[in-house]
Amino acid sequence: MFKVGEALVGEEPNLAHIDLAVGEKDGPAGEAFLNGLSNPSQGHTPLLSVIRPDLPAKPSTLLVPKVTIGNMEDANKAFGPVQEGVSRAIVDSVDEGIIPKERAEELVVIVSVFIHPEAEDFQKLNRHNYGATRLALRRAMEDFPSVDKVLEEKDKGGHPIMGTRTVKLRNPPYLQVAMDKPSLKQQLRLMEKLPESDHIIVEAGTPLIKKYGIKAVEELREKDENAFIIADLKTLDTGHLEAKMAADAGADGVVVSGLAGINTIEKAVREADKCGIYCILDTLNVSNPIQLLENLQEKPHIAEIHRGIDEEYAGEDHSAWGDIPTIKENTREKLVAVAGGITQESAGEALESGADILVVGRAIANAKDPESKARDFLEVMGEAWSSIKQEKFGDIEQFRWRTDF
């Protein structure tokens, strides 16, 4: 047997974060137990966990502090409320049958504990470490979470330090607001006016980036650390370098031109994967987007069907979006964006054609009230999406929040 469990209980600074492993004495867990007990390190000395002196927990439990114990005040927290809470949780788990009583002498438990340096409430430390240890142990013995559960939950909720910002586009449709005006001051003001919604993407447009460089992305990220930001670089060469530059500046996605060489596109995709961001292939002026996508070994995460601004100003008629389902099948995330003259009137048509992301620039940026205009688009998109998918559409994706554990 080798089981692993984890649990977080409470709030800073008196929270408890427990990582633990359970296994046989004559296996790798037992070997790690003896190594830890016989090789203490300064500030992280493992201790045999006891309920009270002369009464050790069963199964035998090794308590390992994650945070350096720097003085007697820190030591009192570890040896007092934390140790007692962990030990009692282990023994109560035997009493409840979570750990089979007949196996208590065969097993060992290694518990890694987090003790905040500013923690001061011994009662909360004791109670939280007791609860977190019992929960982690139950999860370990029940193999929770399953792989299916991890895949279901991985993009929900939020990290206590990194927050709850959207990092995966898992719940279309999305309104991508293109910030193309080459005035960083104006675009930062526009960003302030956008409504709070999980269905809004912010695009640092090509003219903006050409004028201010990648710093424009950094400024947008500083303005809103929770925004989903795409850097529209329209990369034509050195795909890996530009993808990395975008990621380093804080972008969640980078746009590469479909007119670039296949080697450049694929390098951009690989670097985007490496950096944990999306690579979007812009098909502006590409005569056969489907053929291009089919020729790529490394598929982009998103494909963008794009009519240029100059074409719009020339008064060229809006053409059909093409075979969006086939284009979508040739992307990693099965997402297609459409750009170029999107209006509230054409938004529904684009979604009915299979689009997942509507890229809108001047219609919102030039509006007297950008927030209301963005909300108008979201409303139209919501009505169309509800009609197509028979699903409700809201500003905040409720299922992004962890609710069941």
> What CATH code is carried by the domain that includes residue 230?
3.20.20.70
- The reply to whether 254 and 335 lie within a common domain is yes
Q: How many CB atoms lie within 10 A of CB 10?
A: 19
Identity of the amino acid at 23: G
Is 398 a domain residue?
Answer: no
Is 105 a domain residue?
Answer: yes
Q: What is the pLDDT of residues 213-267, one digit of tens each?
A: 999 999 999 999 889 999 999 999 999 999 999 999 999 999 999 999 999 999 9
What distances in angstroms separate CA 338 from CA 118, 148, 164, 257, 346, one per listed residue? 51, 32, 27, 14, 11
Q: How far apart are CA 47 and CA 61, in angstroms?
A: 8
Q: What is the pLDDT of residues 319-366, one digit of tens each?
A: 457 889 999 999 999 999 999 889 999 999 899 999 999 999 999 999
Verdict on whether the full-model pTM lies above 0.85: no
Is 56 a domain residue?
Answer: yes
- The reply to whether 196 and 124 lie within a common domain is no
Range of the domain at 359: 174-393
What HEC string does 327-338 produce?
HHHCCCCCEEEE
- The reply to whether 190 and 284 lie within a common domain is yes
What distances in angstroms separate CA 312 from CA 119, 127, 136, 316, 318, one per listed residue? 61, 65, 59, 6, 8
- The reply to whether 149 and 181 lie within a common domain is no
Q: Which residue has the tokens 């430390």?
A: 125
- The reply to whether 126 and 191 lie within a common domain is no
Is 404 a domain residue?
Answer: no
Is 353 a domain residue?
Answer: yes
**Domain end call among 153, 183, 204:** 153
The structure tokens listed for 26 are 């004559």
- The reply to whether 113 and 217 lie within a common domain is no
- The reply to whether 149 and 240 lie within a common domain is no
Catalytically active residues, by annotation: 17
Phi, psi (rounded to 5 degrees) for 107: -110, 160
Is 94 a domain residue?
Answer: yes
- The reply to whether 27 and 132 lie within a common domain is yes
- The reply to whether 77 and 144 lie within a common domain is yes
Identity of the amino acid at 69: I
- The reply to whether 208 and 318 lie within a common domain is yes
DSSP lists the bridge partners of residue 360 as 177
DSSP lists the bridge partners of residue 271 as none
**Domain end call among 124, 153, 182:** 153
DSSP lists the bridge partners of residue 23 as 2, 108
Q: Answer whether 371's CB lies under 8 Å from 194's CB.
A: yes
Most distant CA pair in the chain, distance: 87
- The reply to whether 142 and 225 lie within a common domain is no
Name the residue among 1, 297, 34 with its Cα closest to residue 141: 1
Q: How far apart are CA 308 and CA 332, in angstroms?
A: 25
Q: Which residue has the tokens 């069941």?
A: 404
Overall domain count for the chain: 2
**Domain end call among 88, 123, 153:** 153
CATH number for position 11: 3.30.230.60
Q: Which residue has the tokens 């951009």?
A: 268
- pLDDT of amino acid 93: 96
- The reply to whether 246 and 132 lie within a common domain is no
Is 255 a domain residue?
Answer: yes
- Each residue's pLDDT expressed in tens, for the chain with a length of 405 residues: 999 999 999 999 999 999 999 999 999 999 999 999 998 888 888 999 999 999 999 999 999 999 999 899 999 999 999 999 999 999 999 999 999 999 999 999 999 999 999 999 999 999 999 999 999 999 999 999 999 988 887 776 666 666 656 678 888 999 999 999 999 999 999 999 999 888 999 999 999 999 999 999 999 999 998 899 999 999 999 999 999 999 999 999 999 999 999 999 999 999 999 999 999 999 999 999 999 999 999 999 999 998 755 544 445 444 457 889 999 999 999 999 999 889 999 999 899 999 999 999 999 999 999 999 999 999 999 888 888 876 555 555 544 444 445
Is 385 a domain residue?
Answer: yes
